[in-house]
Structures are given as C-alpha cells and as structure tokens.
C-alpha cells in the first residue's frame, strides 16, 4: 500500500538545507549513508500527477518532465556552486521511495512511500534574532500549516558555535511553539548538522576514514550540543505532553568527499565553494565522477521509515557516558 508522507525542511539561511536536498537522490544512488547496504533504498523524483495518483506507474513522458522539473534545477544550481533557496517562500519537491532489500517486515509491508519535502527559506522559520524581514503573512501561514501537517521535520544547522549564532533564540521559540501545538501530526524530528566535511579539511586522504566512524560523529554532536539552550526544549517533544515524537541527531555533508582520493570535496582552486571536477568535461559528469556525498540521505530516510542507522543518534546515546575520543 502506498503511503504519503510530508517532511518539512527548516533551518537558518545558508545552513545547508537546499544543498542537503539537492544531494539526496545522488546520496541514495551511491549508498553513501550509514544504513546497511542490504536495505537497498531507491529514490526517484516524481511529478505532481504521479504523487497524487494512487497505484499509477510512472510513464516515460512523466519521467522526461521530472528531468526538467524543479528538483533537477535545484541539483543543477548545486552543481554550479550551491545556492540557498533564493525566495521568501517555500518549495515543494516530491519523490517515490522504495526499499528493495532487507528491512524489518513492518517497513517492507508499508512501502512504497510518496514523499513531499517542503524546503523553506531560512528567513521564514528561523530568521536571525531581532531581524526584520518583509515576509508576507500568507507565506508564514502556509509554512505554519505545512509544519503542523507534516509527519516529520528536519532541522538543518551548520556546524558552528551554536551558542554564538544569531538565530538560536528564534529556533528555541519555534521549538516551544511546536511542542505546545496540539494539532500537529509530528511523529519524527531530525536535527542535522551540515558541513561535516569541514572538520576534516586538514586530514587529506585520511579524512573519509575518520568521517566514516560513527563514534567520531557522536563525539562531534556531543561537543556541538553541550552549550545549546534549546536542547531540553526539543526533548519535550518526546514526552506525551509534547506529542511523543521521536527525536534524532545526525551529521551530513552535501559536498562530501572525493572518490579514490578521500579528501573533503571543496576545490581550493575554484572561486567560492565548488566540488572537484575533471578538466575538459562539462555538466554533471564533470563533478559526479569524483563526488561522494555523505549522509545527506540519513535524515530523510529516518523521517520516512523511522529506521535508525549507524549515524542517527537518540537522546539516550547523547546522554550515555562513554570514553571521550582523543
């Protein structure tokens, strides 16, 4: 039986939301996630007609339309340098998710899934504290309705000193309002720390080895969340009074690492932040030959399936006393 799910993607401006989404399909295709390779998920962008029509297989014409659709444009923009959602509005992207390998029977029997992922500009849900941004009231109302109707929310935050960020107050207030909203449909919430690859920029070919260790990711999350004021507010969502939603934490890297060379995939010889590419080639092939995105599928697969991977961490794991990594 086909199941439809809505996932809201929120976070501060330039935190990595659109890049995370743009690399999602490629991350699934390359199995660059912490789930078992035997899970074999597949993710395909679909048209509105396919999303709303139960039991209809995609047609060739629909597939060709998707190739020229909003998601393909998002992927192209990311390839050309990565841009934030450049509008004071929301975008809706739709996908078909299937699990083709080994998974818990309850998951296999529920699929496939039709996912609607709502990507919002950072100024709407998590604007800088004290900032006055001219956002239409109907846009605010639209995103508020989408968040209340969503089965899952993914909060994307850059790996910075969170206590010094200019948006932490507004994020805390948003979490409070969400916990107190009785009409929300929220079942799962994932906090994603983006730009994970930057922590390993000086490790060269050893970078990917360290990034692939879940214990390293857990250590990074513990340190990043140590002084965060909204952590206990978020915990309230897991209580019956807050709705009983499950909360997870993870890391991700849209730029990822370079295949074969294993170093972080930010080319110092190109302006801005661009992935390595082979000279003399144009288009996606010039970048994809070397590009391995990392864990950008994690938050969406957990949001849709409720399955933990080696890189999705619960409050219990964050709270556990383990030996610190040197």
Question: Burial, 182: exposed, middle or buried (Cβ in 10 Å; 0-12, 13-18, 19+)?
Answer: exposed
Q: How many CA atoms lie within 13 A of 56 on its CB side?
A: 14
What mean pLDDT is predicted for residues 51-75? 63
Q: Return d(Cα 8, Cα 140) in angstroms, integer.
A: 14
Q: What is the DSSP string of 133-164?
A: ----HHHHHHHHHHHHH-SEEEEEEESS-GGG
For residues 181 and 148, the answer to whether their CB atoms sit within 8 Å is yes
For residues 199 and 25, the answer to whether their CB atoms sit within 8 Å is no
What mean pLDDT is predicted for residues 288-302? 92
Measured in residues, the chain has a length of 326
Quote the pLDDT of residue 248. 97
Over residues 151-197, the pLDDT tens digits come to 999 999 998 877 777 788 888 888 999 888 889 999 999 999 999 99
Q: pLDDT-derived band of residue 281, with 50, 70 and 90 as boundaries?
A: confident
**128 has a pLDDT exceeding 80:** no
Q: Where are the domains of the chain?
A: 3-319
Average pLDDT for the chain: 84
- Mean pLDDT is lowest, of 85-89, 94-98, 165-169, 205-209, for 85-89
- Kindly report whether the global pTM for this prediction surpasses the value 0.85: yes
| CATH superfamily, with its number, for domain 3-319 | P-loop containing nucleotide triphosphate hydrolases (3.40.50.300)
Angle, vertex CA 49, rays to CA 45 and CA 51, nearest 5: 55
Q: From the centroid of its chain, how far is CA 177?
A: 22
Q: Return d(Cα 227, Cα 321) in angstroms, integer.
A: 17
What mean pLDDT is predicted for residues 131-145? 77
């Amino acid at each position: 039986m086909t199941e439809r799910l809505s996932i809201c993607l929120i976070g501060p401006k330039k935190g990595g939301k659109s890049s995370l989404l743009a690399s999602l399909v490629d991350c699934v295709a390359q199995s660059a996630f912490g789930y078992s390779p035997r899970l074999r998920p597949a993710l395909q962008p679909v048209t509105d007609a396919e999303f709303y029509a139960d039991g209809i297989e995609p047609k060739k014409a629909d597939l060709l339309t998707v190739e020229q659709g909003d998601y393909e444009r998002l992927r192209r923009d990311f390839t050309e340098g990565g841009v934030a959602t450049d509008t004071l509005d929301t975008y809706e992207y739709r996908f078909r998710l299937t699990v083709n390998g080994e998974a818990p029977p309850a998951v296999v029997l529920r699929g496939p899934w039709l996912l609607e992922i709502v990507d919002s500009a950072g100024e709407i849900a998590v604007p800088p504290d004290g900032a006055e941004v001219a956002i239409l009231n109907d846009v605010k109302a639209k995103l508020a309705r989408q968040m209340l109707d969503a089965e899952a929310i993914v909060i994307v935050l850059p790996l910075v000193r969170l206590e010094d960020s200019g948006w932490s107050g507004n994020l805390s207030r948003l979490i409070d309002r969400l916990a107190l909203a009785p009409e929300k449909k929220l079942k799962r919430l994932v906090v994603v720390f983006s730009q994970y690859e930057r922590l390993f920029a000086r490790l060269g070919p050893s970078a990917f080895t360290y990034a692939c260790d879940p214990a390293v990711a857990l250590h990074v999350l513990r340190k990043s969340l140590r002084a965060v004021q909204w952590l206990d507010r978020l915990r309230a969502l897991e209580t019956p009074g807050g709705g009983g939603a499950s909360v997870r934490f993870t890391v991700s890297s849209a730029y990822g690492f370079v295949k074969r060379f294993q170093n972080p995939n930010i080319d110092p010889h190109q302006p801005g932040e661009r992935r390595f590419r082979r000279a003399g080639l144009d288009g996606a092939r010039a970048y994809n030959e070397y590009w391995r995105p990392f864990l950008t599928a994690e938050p969406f697969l957990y949001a849709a399936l409720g399955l933990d991977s080696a890189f999705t961490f619960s409050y219990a794991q964050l709270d556990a006393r383990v030996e610190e990594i040197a």
